[in-house]
Structure formats: structure tokens, C-alpha cells
Chains A and B, each alone.
Chain A
Amino acid sequence: MPLLSLNNISKRFGATAAVADVSVAVERGEFFGLLGPSGCGKTTTLRIIAGLEAPDGGTVEFEGRDITTLQPERRGFGMVFQNYALFPHLNVFENVAFGLRARGGRGISPTVREGSLQERVEQALDLVQLPGFGTRRVDELSGGQQQRVAIARAIAIEPSLLLFDEPLSNLDVALREDTRRELRALVKRLDLTAVYVTHDQVEAFALCDRIAVMSEGRVHQVGAPRELYENPANVFVAKFLGRNNLIRALRLTSSNDPSTRFKTLEGGHTLIVSARHDQLMRLAVNKPCLLAIRPEAITVSKDQDGSEAGNRLAARIEHLEFSGATTTITLDANGLKLEALVLQAEGFRIGHECVVTLPVDRMELLSES
């Protein structure tokens, strides 16, 4: 049984559907991501989990219990807000102690309350590497320190579920990467379950065990980062996660074996694609579809003698974009535009003819939505 499950959750704001029929299950001990462009409903979904918004339809279950209508203060979750939401009138210690005090007797025996409160706050501050910061005013802290206090406040109550609403988006890039690593280590060390909202694919990939990709209030695909990247379920996921070449094509052969032939609409090339059986079942012969291949999967060579097996096309180099470790080559294969990402671009010149190879097993057949 999953720890948390959202069953057909929907939420409208006026005429717009913020969340439409979302079903997601989060396992115990999992670092789960909600990833999508801004306005895709990921934050609303998180707020529904926290109890800050009531869904219009569907149920939220936690440990098998329906908590859809449970008030947020009775859920026992920890939440880190995008702007941290530290109480400006309380110092660091009181901020971290707030949840423990609010819970009063719940979980702490009254006789040892003050002593254990002190202990638990200090413990939480130690965990986020802010020992001895208790008496500081919140507005004296740097953005990174405030962020740690917010995390300490959320974990001090020993939450049964930890919720993050883009907590790293206000930090600068270098600090963000360090904090990312620490955050994942901390959550794993405390054996917590976390739901993490972000619009940053790199961040989601680095942090999360599994990710739900959302747009326009719907979940497109749930899976481990690698799975999402290599086997995107549809056009949106293929486009949203990293760069991708999308090729419009028609299905040529009718047999449902893994190596099916497609004809590209641009360029008229014949491509062999290893597609899954269930995808082929849904696609009739001569019907248009979309094929995808990642730029780094394409190899570019100057002459015909490439040894790799796959779809080989003659192409002309249109543009070279040097970006340090890699170079992006824009190619034109008889009208079919492709982007390839290579480590070594020496010897390539704009206008040169070359051969591109699209490996059969790296090509994906996409479903339309």
C-alpha cells in the first residue's frame, strides 16, 4: 500500500482547471517530484496534499486513511515554502519550536516538554548545520540560512511526510547545487518521505527517486528520471525534459515486430524504429506519428565508413554552436532538420556534407498527447 495516494483529484479556480483528475501514489521513503512548467498545477497539488486547498473532487489518502477534509494542522506533515515563510517576529529558535509548541502534548510528554523542546530544536538546527543560531533574528540571516531554518522547522516536528514548494528557487545557482545534494542526503538519512515541487528538470532529476511530469493540471507520466528521459510517454514529456528531435513520420510496415519502418514527412527518409508492441497496436499503417531521438544519441561522421548500425542519412551542416564541453550541430538531411550534440566537433565546418546515424534502439515512437 502506498504511503500517500491522490485519487482523481481535481481543483478549479473560477473557470480554469488548476488540477484535473490527478492520481498519484507515493511510496514510503520515496523522494517524489512534481515537475512541470509554471501554472501546470503542481503547487496546487502540493497544497491539496498539505490541506491548504480543498479539492473540488477526488480523495487524498494517507496510510490508507481518507484525509481529504482533514484540517492542515491535524495532518502532521512538514512543509517548506517557496519564500520560506519564516515568522519575522520570532527568532530562529522560536521559529523551529513553533510546530513543537503548537502540537503541545501531542507526541511529547508534558513533564519533559521544555527540556525536550530545547533538545529537539537544537537537534534540528544541527541537522541543517546551523548550530547555535537559535537566538538570531530571522532577517539577519542570508537567503541560504533562512532556507535551512525553514527546513529545520519542517523536520523538527518529525513529520510523517515532508512537502517542498520550490524551496531552492530563491537561491543562486552555486548554492542551489550544494543545497540540493545536502537536502537529498538529509531526507534519506532521516528516512523521510518527501514530495518536491519544481519546474527545474535538472533539480528534479538530481533529487527525486520518481517524478510525476505535469502540464495543464494533468499528470503525463510518472517514473524514475532515466525512464522519463529515455522513454517519454508523449510529446509533452519528450519536449519538456531536455532537448529532443521530433520527427513527423508515417508508418510503412504492418507487422508489429520491434523493428518497424517509418517514412519521414520531411526529407522522405526511411527509418527503422524499435517501438513497443502496445504502441504499434494503436497505430495503423500510413497513419502519421511522431518519432523522437535525443541530440546526444545522434552520431555525426565525415564519411560513409561509420561502423555503427542504424539509420544512416546524408546531411549538410547548417550551424555549429560551441558551448564548452559539448557542441551542438544543426543538420539538414534533405529537408529534415536535426540537432546533434557531440563532444568533439573538430573538422566540422558549416556547409560540409556528412553522414548522421540515428541508432534504432534510441529512437522513440511518441503517442500524440
Chain B
Amino acid sequence: MNLLEKKAATSRRTPKPRRRFALPAPSTSVLFLIIALVLLYGVIYPNAHVLLAALQHDGSWSPANFFAVLSQRTIVESALTSITLSVLTVLLCALAGVPLAFLFERYAFPGRRLFAALAALPLVLPPLVGTVAFIFLCGESGILARSLQHVFHLSKAPWSLRGWGALLLFHTYTMYPFFYVLTGAGLQRVDAGLAEAARSLGASRARVLLRVTLPQLTPSLIAAALLTFMTSMASFSAPLLFGGNVRVLTLEIFNARQRGDTSIALTETVLLALISLAALIFFQRYEGTRRFVAAAMKGTTRRRQTIGSGLGRLLAACAAIAFSLLLALPIATLVLVSFSRDGSWTTQTLPPVYTVSNFAHLATDVDARSVFGNSLLMAGIATLAALVWSFCVTALTATGRRTRWKRLINVLVLLPWALPGTVVAVSIAEAYGQPNALTGSFILVGTFWILPVVYFLRFMPLVVRAVQASIEQLDRALEEAAGVLGANWWRRFWRVRLPLVAPGALAGALLVFVIAMGEYVASVIVFTPGNRPVSIAIASAMRDFNLGTAAAYGVILIAMIAIVMIVAGRLESRAR
């Protein structure tokens, strides 16, 4: 059916469709109003404000001004740098992640399950904590460089962790799991019967891989490339701490704001947002043309090839162990440094003095405790709000007829996810930094509430997606059965939808909670000195060379994440 026919079919529908299984009308109106207001204040207005402010230069309206600022060499250069860095990151991550996924999915060897889980580890590392751990391990005064220096009696460090190489290494380390996890999931879905059919038709192994397996993996690969590209575009901590003279957009926006150069900051923000959105649209368009629906219903069960020979098994196991050690090394370093006394580690290979005083300090010091208290409170508020919000949004969008309004709401809800954290923070800071028509004399910037608001906006799409996914998995017939049995909308919601969706929703919310606990990119733009989150405390500890304290903060964050991941895993498996 072509577009015109579709249009015709839509217009032929009866003029007033009666809604079934939607919210009762008065509640719908109230809910719609609330959602519209939140989206207006949180998404539409701040972004529109930044866009208009970028177009408006020295009080006059003209796109020419925008292009005048845009054509400054530094801005164009940093945009190109960001894009180049992201494209290279995508390529390197694919090279690391895809073969690894094949290794773990296709072959059985001792310890496979454990190492397969370990390989996804960098995914849950907060970017700032990962950056700090990387500096301790690979920096020019880090453990690796110092060891080589001592072994070979070098007069100075064998390398410096600066610039393109350092950024690409770090990006590959933290982002290859996108390719690894999604390719693995894709491989699990690929029907082994298709490969068997191809083999029976006379295709060689290589031909099966190229013509049958990889085409089916394309959607997974595109999704992974998209996630990697977007994460790399939004990357801030690594360029800040060891980017050297690689000037990416996120960093340039931060610097321009520090200098007070608002017009440049705004223009760069708009540019970053546009590049991210363009990438999103490009990848999704491409994905749309490459989606295959398996025609066969009854698939062949996939069997892992066991590596038979003793030597092969040994090699595979060794490679897997070496690899997972490599992955665990930054975290191990972080743990080690967290027990070192601040200021004691100078030129030695390893920190010389060990103590638990860093953790004791974090537990007893009023300032450190308030930092954790701040982060817990703000992440908690944002998570709770996101949870309630996602049930509001899905109550409106996941029942009854699909309408243009609902699609628009969905797009607006997911928009902050597509925007880098820097863009979200700058847009809120700029929109609510001075009195305006929408907020009257209320100024958000400088208050406690700015961080919870930014966390909420940044991460609520994740919770909404989690709840939406749970609802989509829900058998429609369950709510219909409840309806036929006499349950009205509210009863269906409380007795059927909520209990069944709760595990998935909670898992999503917990994930958002720990991500918000370690949030740095947006926090660094809008935090207030009286209300510092953990990430800001880590950054300032690093600046003061209190390495042990910085590491201890990081270790606690990682421990929290580990606990939450285990709980979320349990919840999700129970949801099935």
C-alpha cells in the first residue's frame, strides 16, 4: 500500500471513532493537561529558547547571525572533531565488540558464562569514574607507565595519556559493549535453521556468514552504531581530563560558558543537538530499510560449538581470562587507589601506603556525607518523578487508539534521550536563568531544584521506555479479560497492569537512579556550590590530587551500581 492509499484509508474512517479500553474521558483530559505542561516547560520551551536565542544575535533576528557565529573556525573545527572522533569510535568499537560477541555466542568453553557477563562490564561504569580509573591505570604517572619506566629504567614516562589515541582507547573500552551486547542478542535471535539451510544449499561457511548471518544482524549493528555514536558525541569527562588539544563540542560548550561567551555556547549547543538528532534520524531511517521478519515460525535450536581439542580449549579459556582481566584492571586499580593515603602516591609504581581512612573519611566527614546525601536525594527525587511520570505517559499513550497526538507526545518524551547531557543542561540553564513569560519571576538556576529537574529530564525517557516495553510485552488479552470480568479502568490498572509491569518499571527506575547518582556531564554545568553531587566532589578531589578520596567515591558508586544491577536482574527475570 503506498502513502496515498494509506491516507485515503485513514480519511475513510468513521468521523468519530469510539474509544475502547482507554481512560475515562475526564481523567484523560487531566492527564493530558499535566503531560502537556511538563513537556512544555521541560522539553519544548527550553529547547525552543536555546534555538531562538542562538538565532537572535545582539538583539536582532537573523539566521545570518547564526551562520556568522557558526563559520568561526573553532566552532566548525570542534564540530568536525566531534564527528570524526565519534565515527572512529564506532569503527573501533565494532571491531572489538562484534568478534567478541561471535566468540561468546558461538563457542562453548570453560567459564564462558562468567566472562560473557564480565565483557559487558564497562557499560555500567559512570563515565567520570571510568575516566578517573583510566588515568590511574594508563596515565603517564599511572601504574602501567610507571611499571615500564621502572623495569626499563626510563628517565620519563613511556607515553602520555593525551589526545586522539587516549580518547579513542578510552571510548573503545567504555563503548564497545554496545556492539558486544547487541550483536550477542542479535545472534541469539538468528534462526540457526537458516544457516543450516544455506549450508545444505552448498554455501561455504564464509558465504553463510556474509550472505545469511550478517544481513540478519544488520538491525543490531545499526542500533549499536547509533548508541555508540550518540554516546561518543555526548562524551565529556574523557575529553575534559585527557583530551589534550582535541577540542570536542561538549568541551567547547562548557569552556564558552565558563568564559561567559553565551552566544558561542548557544550556537554550539544548537549545533550539537542538530548533529545528534540528524544521526538519530539517519540511523533509524537506515534501520527501517534493513529490518527482516523471519518467515519461518518454528526455528531450529541453536547449538554452541564446543571447542574440542585440548589446546583450543586452553587457548580460548586463556584468551577469555586475559581479556576479562584487561576489562577488570581499571576497576581493580580504582579499588587499590581507594585504599591509598591521599598525597602518598608520587613516583612509586604502586601506591606505597594503604589505609581505610578514605572510606572512614567519607563516612564521617560532614562535607563528604552531605555530598552523598545530596546525590541520593536528588537522584531519588528524579527517579521517583520519572517513575510516576512514565506511568502517566503510558496510561495516556499505551491504551486505546493511536493518534497523532500520542505520537507527538512519544517523540517529545524521548527527545531528551537523543540530546547530549550538555545540551539538556545548557537549555535548562539558559531558559530558566532569568525571569520570563512562562515562569514569571521564578528562577530555577542556582536553586536546589535545578539538578533534580535536569536529572529527571535526562533520564525519564529510559524509565518511560522500560514501562512501555513491559506494557508491550503484556498480553493485551489480560486487560481485556479483566474488563470482561467487570473491572473498570482503575481496577484494571491497579490489579492487572501495575503488578505485571512493576518489576520491569522498577528495574528501569533503579538503573536510572544509579546513573543519576554518578551524573557529571550536566551537573558540572548547572550545580550550585551549596549542593554538590558526588561527581563534582570526585572531580574536585582529582583537582586537589586527593587521589585516594576520588577513588573511594568511585568505588562506592560502583558498589551501588553492582547491587542495583543484581536487584534489577532479579526483578527482570521475575517479570518473565
Q: Tell me whether B486 and A76 are in contact (CB under 8 A).
A: yes
Q: Is B73 an interface residue (CB 8 A)?
A: no
Which residues of chain B from 477 to 530 have any CB-CB distance to chain A below 8 Å in the complex? 477-478, 480-488, 491, 495-496, 499-500
Chain B residues bordering chain A, tally (CB within 8 A): 31
* Nearest-Cβ distance from residue B210 to partner chain A, whole angstroms: 38
Interface of A is mostly: loop
| Bound: A307/B454 CA distance, A | 95
CB-CB under 8 A for A102 and B500, given A83-B475, A85-B477: no
Q: Which residues of B contact A71 (CB under 8 A)?
A: 483, 488
| Bound: A35/B475 CA distance, A | 25
Q: Which residue of B lies closest to A97 (CB)?
A: B485
Q: Is B201 an interface residue (CB 8 A)?
A: no
Q: Tell me whether B481 and A85 are in contact (CB under 8 A).
A: yes
Q: Which residue of A lies closest to B492 (CB)?
A: A73
Most A CB within 10 A of own CB, among B9, B477, B485, B499: B485
* Nearest-Cβ distance from residue A38 to partner chain B, whole angstroms: 14
Which of A45-53, A116-124, A206-214, A355-363 lines the interface with chain B?
A45-53
CB-CB under 8 A for A85 and B478, given A73-B484, A157-B485: yes
| Bound: A192/B566 CA distance, A | 51
Q: Is A137 an interface residue (CB 8 A)?
A: no
Q: Tell me whether B5 and A72 are in contact (CB under 8 A).
A: no
Q: Which residues of B contact A72 (CB under 8 A)?
A: 20-21, 480, 483-484
Chain A residues bordering chain B, tally (CB within 8 A): 36
Q: Is B366 an interface residue (CB 8 A)?
A: no
| Bound: A103/B20 CA distance, A | 20
Q: Tell me whether B478 and A73 are in contact (CB under 8 A).
A: no
Per-residue contact bits, chain A 100-127, to B (CB 8 Å; 1 contact, 0 not): 0011001000000000000000000000
Q: Tell me whether B484 and A79 are in contact (CB under 8 A).
A: yes
Which residues of chain A from 59 to 114 have any CB-CB distance to chain B below 8 Å in the complex? 69, 71-79, 81-83, 85, 87-89, 98-99, 102-103, 106
| Bound: A15/B9 CA distance, A | 5
Q: Tell me whether B9 and A102 are in contact (CB under 8 A).
A: no
Q: Tell me whether A103 and B21 are in contact (CB under 8 A).
A: no
Q: Tell me whether B485 and A98 are in contact (CB under 8 A).
A: yes
Q: Is A14 an interface residue (CB 8 A)?
A: yes
Q: Which of A14, A69, A75, A89 contacts B484 (CB 8 A)?
A: A75
| Bound: A78/B5 CA distance, A | 39
* Nearest-Cβ distance from residue B538 to partner chain A, whole angstroms: 41
| Bound: A69/B16 CA distance, A | 13
Q: Which residue of A lies closest to B495 (CB)?
A: A98
Q: Tell me whether A89 and B500 are in contact (CB under 8 A).
A: yes
Q: Which of A15, A56, A81 contacts B480 (CB 8 A)?
A: A81
Q: Is B13 an interface residue (CB 8 A)?
A: yes
Q: Which residue of A lies closest to B498 (CB)?
A: A89
Q: Which residues of B contact A294 (CB under 8 A)?
A: none
Q: Which of B8, B20, B486 contacts A53 (CB 8 A)?
A: B20
* Nearest-Cβ distance from residue A193 to partner chain B, whole angstroms: 15
Most A CB within 10 A of own CB, among B1, B5, B19, B488: B488
Q: Which residues of B contact A69 (CB under 8 A)?
A: 18
Q: Is A184 an interface residue (CB 8 A)?
A: no
Q: Which residue of B lies closest to A98 (CB)?
A: B485
Q: Is A54 an interface residue (CB 8 A)?
A: yes
Q: Is B289 an interface residue (CB 8 A)?
A: no
| Bound: A89/B482 CA distance, A | 13
Q: Which of B8, B475, B483 contacts A52 (CB 8 A)?
A: B483
Q: Is B153 an interface residue (CB 8 A)?
A: no
Q: Which residues of A contact B475 (CB under 8 A)?
A: 83, 85
Q: Tell me whether A102 and B482 are in contact (CB under 8 A).
A: yes
| Bound: A76/B19 CA distance, A | 20
* Nearest-Cβ distance from residue A46 to partner chain B, whole angstroms: 11
* Nearest-Cβ distance from residue B401 to partner chain A, whole angstroms: 10
* Nearest-Cβ distance from residue A94 to partner chain B, whole angstroms: 9
Q: Is B543 an interface residue (CB 8 A)?
A: no
Q: Is A148 an interface residue (CB 8 A)?
A: no
* Nearest-Cβ distance from residue B575 to partner chain A, whole angstroms: 10
Q: Which residues of A contact B481 (CB under 8 A)?
A: 79, 81, 85, 87, 153
| Bound: A74/B499 CA distance, A | 23
Q: Tell me whether A77 and B9 are in contact (CB under 8 A).
A: no
Q: Which residues of B contact A102 (CB under 8 A)?
A: 482, 485-488, 491, 495
Q: Which residues of A contact B19 (CB under 8 A)?
A: 54
Per-residue contact bits, chain B 3-23, to A (CB 8 Å; 1 contact, 0 not): 001101110111001111100
B-side interface residues toward A, CB under 8 Å?
Answer: 1, 5-6, 8-10, 12-14, 17-21, 475, 477-478, 480-488, 491, 495-496, 499-500
17 other contacts beyond A56-B13, A154-B485, with CB at 8 A cut-off? A12-B13, A14-B6, A15-B1, A15-B5, A15-B8, A52-B21, A52-B480, A53-B20, A69-B18, A71-B488, A72-B20, A72-B21, A73-B488, A78-B485, A81-B480, A98-B487, A102-B485
